[in-house]
Amino acid sequence: MTLKANPAKLNPLQLRTLTLLQVLAQLPQASQAQADGHIAITAFPHAHGDHFHLGDFTVASRDATGLENETVWNALTRKGMIRAEWPGSISLTPQGIAYDTGIADEILHRGGHH
């Protein structure tokens, strides 16, 4: 039996947001590991034009609207993916860190500008 894609039934905006948070969690300049296994996100990217850079990736600004959306934060909190206190703090839970969104290749572009 194969694993069900998107078992938490995240909507497209939630999937994009979680994907970006997972990348931020891997960047030392944007995150900090916590003793309880969570990873606090300490900095969000700043867009220039219609995109921004996230480590080695270029991301379209339209794919990041959930990073500053209270409704998305609340939904990801309810689904156990993040722990957040809008708008001051957000951290990925171990479940959120491990969740396979299945869309990284769609929104994370390697190389130069797109």
- Coil vs helix vs strand at 40: strand
Tell me the pLDDT tens digit for each residue of 4-51. 789 999 999 999 999 999 999 999 999 999 999 999 999 999 888 899
Rounded CA-CA distance 15/48 in Å is 23
**pLDDT for 67-96, tens place per residue?**
999 999 999 999 999 999 999 999 999 999
Q: In terms of pLDDT, which residue wins out, 2 or 44?
A: 44
Q: Write phi, then psi, for 89 (nearest 5 degrees).
A: -145, 150
Are 96 and 76 within 8 A, CB to CB? yes
- Whether the predicted pLDDT of 112 surpasses 80: no
d(CA 108, CA 53): 10
Tell me the CA distances in angstroms from 90 to 52, 77, 96, 102, 103, one per residue in order: 20, 9, 12, 22, 21
The residue-averaged pLDDT of 60-71 equals 96
Is the pLDDT reported for residue 113 higher than 60? Answer: no
What are 3's two structure tokens?
């694993």
- Helix, coil or strand: residue 73: helix
The fold of the 12-110 domain, in CATH, is Arc Repressor Mutant, subunit A (1.10.10)
- Domains in the chain: boundaries: 12-110
Please report the pLDDT score of residue 70 as a whole number.
97
